[in-house]
Chains A and B, each alone.
Chain A
């Protein structure tokens, strides 16, 4: 009897791993494996024409944040890299805040519609989410270009004499990122609000709470998990954004993603590109871990 059940367990284990094998094979080949090789590349020497020389070197990691002055050989912070890191973090935080500002009322609005209407509203949120990010970026770019819809209309109306330069600025990157990532905020916030018992809100008002008090004491604690999830979902892709800053920033307002690409193009410094990628990955992982910890605590609190 014991032997039989051990055999059955073994057979189940074998079936399981055989079923998993094809998926894991592809993922190791084109997801986790290459990531490990990137880690190795970050401690090699850069080749003269791109690629690497198989020689150990910590130059790449050194160059992520620091640089040696060419003339005086003095050590210093790499201002160019630091300013790009700072811009990436700043724009990602601003994107997250703007998405909160627009996304939370939007989710609230949808969650308080009658049940039948809600699905239609949500479909309207989901459709842009599943359409091509490049096309959405392109759509917003056509709007704010110098020859774009807004400037053309303003010129025609005689409000301005010369087009306002909106594209290729930090502002345009921010607009583009809020535009493309807003659904990522609305979806989880809506999911947490949909479960919200609105009679609690009404009870709060009945007991003479002000709007602000109801918001702070009733709504915020209940939708907090959705808001945190939404913020992470917006912050993480913003930090690694590549297409939107490339299209909206036009090459002079680099973000991390563009700085990484540069190392594999003109920069010809693959190890530095690898080290920058791993750095970006580390920041993202810290953000995700933070989320897991906070979300875990919330679960415990609410039983």
Chain B
């Protein structure tokens, strides 16, 4: 039998391309983090190890303010998005098919389908009208804008969890005259929490990372960390930007790993 030594794992060239891809994907990120520890002012010439740029980022008032603002927005946006997503997920998984279901799905997933720049422009136009009419220019605009585009990210893992759950416990409780609220509180919620936590974390990271919508919605002096960085890129780049990036990267990596572990918790 002339098998020509075939092995599905060995498609010549494929492994090479894959490895090159992984290298190309991580090399820039590794260099970025590496040069955040550079003692010189260059992001390409290594002059020795130091914490200098972390210290300077930490002491930079604009960075401090932007960090606090980013965290406030991400906290409220993910909290709001997750709470409404839990309710929406219950409505779409625990009740029979209904008229308008497609419409509801389209609305929930709109932030995933419509290009970010289009949403950003639409929000700029709409909020400009409200700003003129009410005079209010606070953080609420950014929080609501972020909450809206975080909804699908919170909704999808929660719905996935609800769909994977065994319904017999809920039915048994309902048969024993537990009120819907009691069933939710005592039966559904304890099983649902990994999904809720996963959704909330995803929403938090998505909000923390947003650039485009924030850039268009923010009023003067409302920079978040990413929009501050975008502004800085036009000037001379120092490793301070690398230091800020490295911290944000660290947060994302921790969140992704935690998210992956959470999605693995079995029902």
Listed in ascending order, the chain A residues whose CB lies under 8 Å from chain B are 12-13, 15-17, 19-20, 22-24, 26-35, 37-38, 41, 51, 101-103, 105-106, 108-110, 112-113, 123-128, 130-136, 138-143, 145, 147-149, 151-152, 179, 182, 198, 201-202, 205-206, 208, 211, 236-237, 239-240, 242-243, 246-247, 256-257, 260-261, 264, 270, 273-274, 277-278, 280-281, 284-285, 288
Contacts and interface: CB of A to CB of B under 8 A. Distances in A.
Contacts of B74: none
Given A23-B85, A108-B11, A148-B44, A31 B245 contact: no
A9 to B, nearest CB: 9
B9 A179 contact: no
Given A37-B122, A124-B22, A136-B29, A105 B115 contact: no
Considering the complex of A and B, which 10 residue pairs feature the smallest CB-CB distances, nearest first? A240-B115, A109-B18, A30-B148, A34-B122, A19-B91, A139-B28, A34-B126, A105-B14, A23-B84, A23-B88
A246 B8 CA distance: 42
A277 B121 contact: yes
B240 to A, nearest CB: 12
Contacts of A13: 95, 98
B4 A133 contact: no
Count class of interface residues, chain B: 35 or more
Contacts of A103: 21
16 contacts: A20-B104, A22-B88, A24-B107, A30-B148, A31-B149, A34-B125, A38-B122, A38-B126, A105-B13, A109-B19, A132-B226, A132-B245, A138-B32, A138-B233, A257-B115, A277-B121
B96 A12 contact: yes
A47 B21 CA distance: 49
Contacts of A274: 121, 125
Interface in B1-44: 1-4, 6, 8-9, 11, 13-15, 17-22, 24-29, 31-32, 35, 42-44
A201 to B, nearest CB: 6
Nearest to A156: B45
B137 interface: no
Interface of B: 1-4, 6, 8-9, 11, 13-15, 17-22, 24-29, 31-32, 35, 42-45, 80-81, 83-85, 87-88, 90-92, 95-96, 98, 104, 107-108, 110-111, 113-129, 144-145, 147-149, 151, 155, 180, 205, 208-209, 211-212, 216, 226, 229-230, 233, 237, 241-242, 245, 248-249, 252-253, 255-257, 259-260
B87 A19 contact: yes
Contacts of A149: 31, 44
A99 B198 CA distance: 29
A182 B21 contact: yes
A284 B115 contact: yes
A205 B28 contact: no
Given A23-B85, A143-B27, 4 more contacts: A38-B122, A109-B19, A124-B22, A242-B116
A142 B95 contact: no
A33 B237 CA distance: 39
B195 to A, nearest CB: 16
A280 B118 contact: yes
A10 B121 CA distance: 40
B1 to A, nearest CB: 8
B95 A16 contact: yes
A147 B121 contact: no
A274 B6 CA distance: 57
Contacts of A133: 209, 211
B18 A106 contact: yes
